[in-house]
Structure 1
Amino acid sequence: MRKKFKFKNILICCILIYIGYTLVSQQVTIRNKKVQLEKLNIELKEATKENQSLLDKTKMSKTYRYVEKLARERLDYIKQGENAVMQKKD
């Protein structure tokens, strides 16, 4: 009788230790996944903002005023009747 009682106690302790280990490891995994999810949400927000910015730029680039502005700045174009003013570079 004495041996069965000890074996039973050892078996119960082993099962409780295994359950405790499993629960702790699952909690660690859940915490790591939450941190990863937060990082991915931040990246998603940044990508969404960048996407919206690019969509706005694309929409703006189709307007005549934007094309005119780029032609004036990059290609140094002027309209008819305007006087060109050049700045002296040092």
Structure 2
Amino acid sequence: MKKKFKFKSIIIIFIIFYVCYMLISQQITIKNKKAQLQQYKTELQEVSKEHQRLVDETKMSKTYRYVEKLARERLGFIKQGENAVMQK
């Protein structure tokens, strides 16, 4: 009778440890997935901001003033009647 009791108690203890191990393992996995999700959300926000900046820049590039500004800055163009000033 005593052997049967030990065998049952060993099996029960083993099952309890296994369940505890599985629960802890799942909690660690959930924690890692939450951290990964937060990282992806942050990355999505950064990409969304960059996308919006590019959309705004595209809209702005279609305006005459922006094209004129780029021509003046990058190509050194001047309007008729203006004097060019060289900076060192």
* TM-score, L = length of structure 2: 0.92
Q: Which runs of 4+ in 1 moved over 6 A?
A: none
* TM-score, L = length of structure 1: 0.91
Question: 1:36-65 CA distances to partner (integer Å, 9 max, x unpaired)?
Answer: 111111111011001101111111011110
- Tell me the residue number matched to 2:54: 54
Structure 2: which 5+ residue stretches go unaligned? none
AA of the residue aligned to 1:21: Y
% of aligned pairs identical?
Answer: 68
Structure 1: which 5+ residue stretches go unaligned? none
2: CA distance, partners of 1:85 / 1:42: 46
2: CA distance, partners of 1:3 / 1:75: 95
Matches within 5 A, 1:1-90: 1-87=1-87, 89=88
